[in-house]
Amino acid sequence: MTQADDRILETLADSGLVLSPRVLSANTDYSRHYLSTRLGNLRDAGLVDRIDEGLYRITDLGRAYLEGDLEADELEE
């Protein structure tokens, strides 16, 4: 997990919206390309769902991670 991963999850959780890498990029200090890569990793770990092509939302597992109920080393790589 990276600082960007935390920012992505926080932004998705705080907004309550389905967001694209482009929208996330406009609201963070990260490029769209980098966020796309990180979102793929978060999806593989079960922390976000891809709703449609390029649209993501946080999962219950992602919320548990943000709330401290789940440690990064407990996530599948």
Query: Which pLDDT score, from 0 to 100, does residue 69 have?
Result: 81
Calculate the dihedral angle through the C-alpha atoms of 15, 52, 50, 21, rounding to the nearest 10 degrees: -60
Which ranges of the chain have pLDDT less than 70?
Answer: 76-77
Query: Which pLDDT score, from 0 to 100, does residue 46 have?
Result: 94
Query: Which pLDDT score, from 0 to 100, does residue 13 have?
Result: 96
CA angle 17, 22, 24 (to 5 degrees): 50
Length of the chain: 77
pTM above 0.85, yes or no: yes
Query: Which pLDDT score, from 0 to 100, does residue 66 have?
Result: 92
Q: 3-72 has which fold?
A: Arc Repressor Mutant, subunit A (1.10.10)
3-state DSSP helix/strand/coil % of the chain, to nearest 5? 55, 15, 30
Q: How far apart are CA 22 and CA 39, in angstroms?
A: 12
**Domain limits, the chain:** 3-72
Query: Which pLDDT score, from 0 to 100, does residue 24 have?
Result: 95
Query: Which pLDDT score, from 0 to 100, does residue 76 have?
Result: 60
